[in-house]
């Protein structure tokens, strides 16, 4: 990877879809691996040439800003931001207390908005692209995933505001995948008391290829939204 290679920052890049996106882009981009702890980020760095760490709890405003500044001091540029990190918990509205609401909204919405804000000057300079990993829960209603669903609808609204604000400067893509074969999906199915069947889920590497598709379009074009669902019969 040459020093002039474009740089892609991917949050939640240590496992699941984030790791798959990092692998997909690593042949053409210098990867900044975003994760919560050094224990998870440092091993992931070994998979990618010249990769850089961004170690921070995204809900910690000061830690996130410091980690971002350090990464930019070394990388010197930013061409792609993939806001992929997110959390979810199976719970209806009456089962969700204020602490849980704050936790989910802080990670899935507020932290995304804050990282996007501090990254925008670099992305404007490079005429870059932002990819928001949303969910099928950002276009459909699932009462059993109340806080997660609300956070993803709010993220969709934020993404649409951002897209129109930055149109002509930064491309903004909203990715809405259905069920993906990841640790997070295993946990959510267990919370729901349902057996987990990997064959009923999309592979992370296949979903990552759609991010590549969005990035490889000519700069005069943008895929505003990508909606992915499995093909099994309901």
Catalytic residues: 148
Closest CA to 80 of 131, 26, 117: 131
Note the Cα 82 to chain centre separation in Å: 5
Quote the CA–CA distance of 23 and 212 in Å, as a whole number. Answer: 11
Quote the CA–CA distance of 41 and 12 in Å, as a whole number. Answer: 9
In the sheet where 225-228 sits, what is the strand order? Answer: 52-55, 30-35, 7-10, 80-83, 129-133, 171-177, 225-228
Quote the CA–CA distance of 125 and 190 in Å, as a whole number. Answer: 44
List Cβ neighbours of 11 (8 Å cut-off, separation of 6 or more).
Answer: 18, 34, 35, 54, 58, 82, 83, 84, 85, 115
Kindly report the CA angle at 92 between 133 and 155, in degrees rounded to 5? Answer: 25
Quote the CA–CA distance of 30 and 52 in Å, as a whole number. Answer: 8
List Cβ neighbours of 42 (8 Å cut-off, separation of 6 or more).
Answer: 53
């Amino acid at each position: 990877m040459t020093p002039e290679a474009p740089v892609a920052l991917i949050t939640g890049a240590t496992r699941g879809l984030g790791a798959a996106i990092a692998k997909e882009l690593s042949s053409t981009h210098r990867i900044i691996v975003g994760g919560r702890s050094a224990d998870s980020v440092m091993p992931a760095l070994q998979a990618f040439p010249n990769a850089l760490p961004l170690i921070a709890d995204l809900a910690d405003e000061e830690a996130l800003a410091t980690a971002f500044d350090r990464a930019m001091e070394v990388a010197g540029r930013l061409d792609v931001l993939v806001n992929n990190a997110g959390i979810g918990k199976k719970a209806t509205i009456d089962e969700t207390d204020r602490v849980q609401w704050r936790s989910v909204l802080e990670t899935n919405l507020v932290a995304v908005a804050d990282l996007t804000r501090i990254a925008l000057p670099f992305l404007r300079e490079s005429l870059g692209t932002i990819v928001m990993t949303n969910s099928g829960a950002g276009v459909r209603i699932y009462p059993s995933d109340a806080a997660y669903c609300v956070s993803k609808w709010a993220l969709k609204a934020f993404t649409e505001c951002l897209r129109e604000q930055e149109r002509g400067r930064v491309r903004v893509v909203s990715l809405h995948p259905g069920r993906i074969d990841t640790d997070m999906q295993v946990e959510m199915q267990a919370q729901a008391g349902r057996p987990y069947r990997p064959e009923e889920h999309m592979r992370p590497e296949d979903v990552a290829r759609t991010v590549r598709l969005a990035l490889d379009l000519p700069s005069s074009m943008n895929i505003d939204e990508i909606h992915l669902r499995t093909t099994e019969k309901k």
